Structures are given as C-alpha cells and as structure tokens.
Amino acid sequence: MVIGVQTPAQDVELRNTGNAALTILQVDMAGDAADFVITELTPGITRLPPNGEKGFRIRFKPTAAGNREGLLRVHSDSPASPHVVSLVGVAFAAP
C-alpha cells in the first residue's frame, strides 16, 4: 500500500463466548498504531450479553514505508483481558 493511502475496510467482530455479560472497558491500538484506523465502532458500546456480537472495521493507512505492525487490544472485565489481535501491513513510497 502506498504511504498515506487508505485500504478498503477489513471486518472485525467482538463476540462474547462466555455465559455472563462482558463489560468492554476500552478498545485501543499499540505498535504502529497510527497506521491502523478503527471505523464504525459505536462509542458507548460497553456491554455484550452472552453470545452477543459487535462488528466494526479496521483500515490500513500507512504513515511510513516497510512492514507495519499494530495490535488491536480489547480491554474488558474478562480474566483474560486484554484480548489482542495482531495487524500487519506493508507500505511503500509512491513511485
């Protein structure tokens, strides 16, 4: 992907596979965080019932050339929190 150009969105889904409501405290990015844009995540979605789902999208918009790596982190009241998804993209300068 060319530096500064945004890719089409990739779908991400949060799913509560537990048997109790899940409280989402924060969704954030780490690593090359500025290269990955979270879209369509409704602010204020803080609880997912058992088997509940919430979809959103991520776009890659690189700020520098080379391999770019980010981490999507979902912080919740789950003992396994934060849940982490690795994000990878490759960027190059326009010819």
* pLDDT tens digits for range 37-66: 888 776 666 889 999 998 888 999 999 999
Q: What pLDDT is attached to residue 51?
A: 94
> If one looks up domain 10-91 in CATH, what number appears?
2.60.40.10
Q: What pLDDT is attached to residue 95?
A: 80
Write the DSSP string, 8-54.
PPEEEEEE--SSS-EEEEEEEEEESGGGEEEES--TT--EE-TT-EE
Chain Cα centroid distance, residue 36 = 8
For the segment 60-74, what is each residue's pLDDT rounded down to a tens digit? 999 999 999 999 999
What is the model's pTM? Answer: 0.81
Q: What pLDDT is attached to residue 8?
A: 92
Q: Residues with Cβ < 8 Å from 5, sequence gap 6 or more?
A: 61, 62
Task: Indicate the domain borders of the chain.
Answer: 10-91
- How far is it, in rounded angstroms, from Cα 88 to Cα 95? 22
